[in-house]
Structure 1
Amino acid sequence: MTRRRGRSAAGRAVLTVVTAFGVLAGAALAGAAPAGAAPAGRRIAPGVTYRQFDVDTAAGTAHAHLLTVDLANPHVGVDLLYPGAVAARSTVSRLADSAGAVAGINGDFFNITETQHPGVEATGAPVGPAVAAGQALKAAVPKGQRFGPALPPGTNTQEVLGVGTDRRARLDRLALVGSVTTPDGRLPLKGLNQYALPQGSVGAFTAKWGGVSRQRAVCGTDSERAAPCSDDTYEVTVRGGRVVAASGTPGSGTIAAGTTVLLGREEGARQLRKLSVGDPVTVEHSLTAATSGVPYAFAIGGFPVLRAGKPLSGLDDGTSAVRTVVGFKGGGQQLLILVLDGAARYRTGMTVAEEAEAMRTLGASDALNLDGGGSSELVAREGDAGAVSVRNHPSGGAERPVPNGIGIFSAA
């Protein structure tokens, strides 16, 4: 649910503490404190604190759930939650429990529906880059193929929040750098486990993609997501450095470990048709950071709303919604993870501009907006409980399966 309003409301987000801790998502709100007071919280694990509070916005009152994560604590870890495949979905609680996380939230926007391409399977794959346990899982789809609200001016689908091997969080851009070396020369690689490939390109799909059809990857154009699917396609399967199979149409099914499927559209397809079974092929790819010289142990896609303590220009200040945002302060040593409640009383949420202001008020220097609406969810463990519980009310009335999220881990 969203609510539109005039631009005069930009940035009006006032934090008011209402409760220190709710055992379950339906916990009663009580104990109001003056606006601007520092919210109290309860420790989930050493270095991890949970709290909740109200945020006054132009559309009404939003209720926020906040995790504070001390990355300087050696017992604390952060990594990507995902169901073992890029093109797959699961609930945040299941993802967190299966990974052994003490808390978690939903992640990137994703390919949730394909109503504009009848007969084409929605992949469930996320929009932006993803890094898990230091390994690149996928690259970003073209900007015109993105699902989600409009991006702020000057941003693109390569935007991420990541935590480096130095245990500091950063905002960055991760671009795919790759090539396909064939007997006829070297081709640029423009896709890695993506639900949409650039026009005229070749993309790679690995065992991390999953078993979902690759048909969606050749639908739409770089500027129009709803454009028809290309009928000029070709794919080859590479194993052990050689072509072992070829097909004129995108395939489906699980890709074996050590195997790469190369899918081309238009000019990319014409180049792949030059290959024959038995030809030697080498595929190389990596995600390259725009600003950081430190390798990323974890990264997730979204779009930035706050940089160096200042909201980005052109943030939407007219559409209120339930939102999820992650930021950091203290030079990247402390994460601030905020998820709004989707209960009917609070479902008007806040605008992106108000979200940025709320994070700034909490002390964040930088912040990245993640998927919202029915996807917004925060889970955490209570004491010695063996499983997490959902702390906010998902606005759809139940947990929505999502492709990825952020997991908080404790070795204590």
Structure 2
Amino acid sequence: MKQLLGKFRTVAAFTVAWGVLAGGTAVGATRASADGGFTRTPPTRLARGVTYSEFRMFLPRGIVHGHLLTVDLSDPAVSVDLLHPAAVAARAPVSELADDRDAVGAVNGDFFDISEAQHPEAEVTGSSVGPAVASGRELKAAVPDGQRFGPTLPPGATTKDVLAVGYDHRARLDRLTLRGTVRSHEGSWPLRGLNQYALPQGGIGAYTARWGAVSRERAVCGTDTDRGAGCDTDTAEITIRHGRVAHAAAHPGAGVIERGSVVLVGREQGARLLRALHLGERVLISHRLVARLPGRLRCAVGGFPVLRHGRPAAGLDTVAVTMRTSIGIADRGRTLLLMALDGEKGKHQTGLTVRELAGLMSRLGAREAMDLDGGGSSTFVTQDPYGEAEVRNHPTVERERPVANAVGVFSSVEGIPRGGSPEQ
């Protein structure tokens, strides 16, 4: 039955597309706009406060086909959260992440560490670039700007940029900066990393049980301006267990970090400071992600802003064309728009530049928008009639690519909350 429903959707989608291409109006499709370049299907209700629609934009180089979730955050039955694997240094398909939390819909999230060809000695971590907050819990902080994966950041953007949703049910563009310290009788030093695949030069980073079992070697590779630079040899790693130094090593290690323990990794000056600590010495570690705007955050995902106050950000790329995923904000934070393009081959379809993406999100009604990971990572998922996650778009790779995180949408059913983690 599920296969038959899938075939029916394919036939219906083809019928709409054919009607548009033929210059008519297919059943279920809106008429083209005045310039003849854009069509959008009427919204279909997926759950309370959540609707789905498709759109097509016609460019000289081909057709841009996309999928859109419109989420009413002002509805108390609706919530949004960051979906992620069990470990920060891990990846999973969006459909799997959505199924695990019973999400009504989801799109892939932040860019992530996907390749270490320049550092064969370092294990690929799969960890995301930017800060991550899920169910009110701070999972990680941002890597240095020069260590990110993905397209070049536009002027003024940083890896600390996030799209966040607060416990006030409002969405916003924000920036999360790590504030932390390492204290011992030797002194007090700034903490400059939290569960990150790359640490700033001269810094100390903390790794908790949430990091996972992946090697921490990648943390000391590259520089603040050159991701491909070699791995540092002036390093140190200290394990703090129940507030005291339990183990010391010259190089970053691997393996599961026990609950109640924190591993400190230092490079250059940070390593020299850690080497001053002694076994049994008491060490206090504190950290938090500080937002620019007030209000407690339920979730936050990294990316970079492409639309602010209804206008495209300055310096957006106008050359590279690929499939895109984006998340937009409308109605002063009360409405969230989750969008991913379709990469189906053989349909004369094309992607967008980042600058074109900003224009598209504005056309869809967003006042602010963020570019998320694209290309083979672009994945758009909704629940099918049986409550299972179904990939609506066609990723550009053969199979659904595992990703570091995703943005999930939830809607209560007859007053029963969905989505696992309760609000704290």
TM score, norm. by length of structure 2? 0.90
Once the 2 structures are TM-superposed, how far is the Cα of residue 289 of structure 1 from its aligned partner?
0.6
Letter of the structure 2 residue corresponding to residue 338 of structure 1: M
Match of 1:13 in 2: none
The answer for unaligned runs of 5 or more in structure 1 is: 1-21
Match of 2:313 in 1: 312
Deviations 1:329-384 (CA, angstroms, capped at 9, x unpaired)? 0010100111000111255211111111111111111000000000000110123x
Contact 1:236 1:272 in 2 (8 A): yes
Matched position secondary structure for 1:331: helix
Letter of the structure 2 residue corresponding to residue 260 of structure 1: V
Contact 1:207 1:256 in 2 (8 A): yes
CA distance in 2, matches of 1:176, 1:387: 37
CA distance in 1, matches of 2:99, 2:41: 27
Deviations 1:121-168 (CA, angstroms, capped at 9, x unpaired)? 110000000000011100000000010001111111001000011110
Letter of the structure 2 residue corresponding to residue 241 of structure 1: G
Match of 2:268 in 1: 266
Contact 1:25 1:391 in 2 (8 A): no
Once the 2 structures are TM-superposed, how far is the Cα of residue 35 of structure 1 from its aligned partner?
2.3
Distance 1:211 1:51, change over 3 A: same
Once the 2 structures are TM-superposed, how far is the Cα of residue 25 of structure 1 from its aligned partner?
10
Match of 2:32 in 1: 35
**Which of the residues 124, 127, 147 maps onto 2:126?**
124
The answer for unaligned runs of 5 or more in structure 2 is: 1-7, 17-25, 34-38, 414-424
Matched position secondary structure for 2:388: coil
CA distance in 2, matches of 1:174, 1:386: 35
Matches within 5 A, 1:49-198: 49-198=51-200
Once the 2 structures are TM-superposed, how far is the Cα of residue 59 of structure 1 from its aligned partner?
2.8
Deviations 1:184-223 (CA, angstroms, capped at 9, x unpaired)? 1101000000000000000000011011000000000000
Match of 2:379 in 1: 377
Letter of the structure 2 residue corresponding to residue 209 of structure 1: W
CA distance in 1, matches of 2:330, 2:280: 53
The CA RMSD over aligned residues, in Å, is 1.6
Matches within 5 A, 1:261-410: 261-290=263-292, 292-344=293-345, 345=347, 347-383=349-385, 385-410=386-411
Contact 1:26 1:393 in 2 (8 A): no
Contact 1:54 1:63 in 2 (8 A): yes
CA distance in 1, matches of 2:11, 2:176: 35
CA distance in 1, matches of 2:106, 2:260: 31
Alignment coverage as a number of residue pairs:
390
Letter of the structure 2 residue corresponding to residue 102 of structure 1: V
CA distance in 2, matches of 1:310, 1:138: 30
Letter of the structure 1 residue corresponding to residue 243 of structure 2: G
Matched position secondary structure for 1:61: strand
Once the 2 structures are TM-superposed, how far is the Cα of residue 388 of structure 1 from its aligned partner?
1.1
Once the 2 structures are TM-superposed, how far is the Cα of residue 57 of structure 1 from its aligned partner?
3.1
Contact 2:130 2:160 in 1 (8 A): yes
CA distance in 2, matches of 1:100, 1:25: 27
Matched position secondary structure for 2:91: coil
Structure of higher RCO (CA pairs closer than 8 Å, 6+ residues apart): 1
Letter of the structure 2 residue corresponding to residue 34 of structure 1: R
Letter of the structure 1 residue corresponding to residue 185 of structure 2: P
Letter of the structure 2 residue corresponding to residue 76 of structure 1: V
Distance 1:295 1:346, change over 3 A: farther
Match of 1:242 in 2: 244
Contact 2:342 2:394 in 1 (8 A): yes
Match of 1:14 in 2: none
Matched position secondary structure for 1:299: strand
Matched position secondary structure for 2:350: coil
TM score, norm. by length of structure 1? 0.92
CA distance in 2, matches of 1:153, 1:327: 20
Distance 1:285 1:93, change over 3 A: same
Letter of the structure 2 residue corresponding to residue 357 of structure 1: G
**Which of the residues 226, 229, 242 maps onto 1:227?**
229
Distance 1:236 1:25, change over 3 A: farther
Matched position secondary structure for 2:266: strand
Matched position secondary structure for 2:149: coil
CA distance in 2, matches of 1:35, 1:233: 60
